[in-house]
Structure 1
Amino acid sequence: MYAQRQAAAPVSAMTFEAMVEQVRYDGAYPTHDRAEQAVRHVMAGLGRQLIGDERVALAARLPLEAALELTAQVPRTEPLTGFDFVSDLAARTGGTPATARWDAGIVFAVLRRLTGDDLISSVLAQLPSGYALLFGRAELAPTG
């Protein structure tokens, strides 16, 4: 569990508006509203995947509005694979898989910088395959 491995977690100084603006800049979104939609949809989607200490630790490092999007969701009994997460995001937003993949990748990249690699490693350990690439990491296959 994450809380047992990491005693002190850095607290985010980033506001929700700053998070959205970073997503807007990194993702080249045309408007603040479009970037905010991406943040809210992706955080809600992630909230449906995570449980336990990682969920709590992640919420504690997020700006309040992003934390509320994450924690307002009821986690699924079986988390989706990364591919299915993108497909679900596309279906819920009325977008294409390509735009959903873009949104997830941009939001997760900002999330990774905001929360740190240790927490993201713990989050990825809880999720099925396919999420590492969404977070900008290599997806390593087990050997043997």
Structure 2
Amino acid sequence: MYDQPRANPSVTAMTFDQMLERVRYEGAYPTRERAEEAVRTVLASLGRQVTGDDRVDLAQCLPVEAALTLTAQIPEADQLTGWGFVKDIASRTGATPAVARWDTGAVLAVVARLAGPDLLARILHRLPGGYALLFGQAELRQPQPAA
């Protein structure tokens, strides 16, 4: 028995080209190629953090090319905080943390719209603190005390 996909019915499907143009606008990137580089880098990093049904449902909301970038990654055993996520992107790309944060915000703002509020809330609930701001949302949960 198969579950029906839980795609967000309130969000219009977007092609990869439309996604790149939206990210280019959000990030004020000078070229489509620079926007595509940001999309692929951020989605690959996100693919190492999001697992299970959330990963499957998010992939279903994305254009095929973006979904393949997300799902091609093997999830890491230890999840990074939001700031750790940005620092990881910076270290993998050689960018400064400020540029990595900019890229992350531009891409994840578009991903948040494609995912819709319900799926985004589920994903944020399962990720460590700091991701809400990266998706352009308020951080509403209390940080967990260090063990």
- What TM-score do the two structures reach when normalised by structure 2? 0.89
Change (3 A) 1:12 1:47: farther
AA at the equivalent of 1:62: L
Change (3 A) 1:56 1:25: same
AA at the equivalent of 2:64: L
Runs of 4+ in 1 over 6 A off after TM superposition: none
Equivalent in the alignment of 2:135: 135
Report sequence identity in percent. Answer: 61
Residue 23 (str. 1) matches residue 23 (str. 2): yes
In 1, Cα distance between equivalents of 2:141 and 2:51: 24
In 2, Cα distance between equivalents of 1:7 and 1:13: 14
Change (3 A) 1:103 1:7: closer
Q: Secondary structure at the match of 1:116?
A: helix
Cα deviation per residue 1:65-96 (whole Å; 9 max; x = unaligned)? 10000000000011100000000001111101
Q: In the TM superposition, what are the counterparts of 1:37-116 in structure 2 within 5 Å?
A: 37-116=37-116
AA at the equivalent of 1:131: Y
AA at the equivalent of 1:18: Q
- What TM-score do the two structures reach when normalised by structure 1? 0.91
Stretch deviating more after TM superposition (6-15 or 85-94): 6-15
Change (3 A) 1:7 1:112: closer
1:7: how far off? 5.2
1:8: how far off? 5.8
Change (3 A) 1:141 1:60: closer
1:9: how far off? 3.6
In 2, Cα distance between equivalents of 1:9 and 1:70: 18
Change (3 A) 1:12 1:87: same
Cα deviation per residue 1:72-124 (whole Å; 9 max; x = unaligned)? 00000111000000000011111010010011111110111112111111110
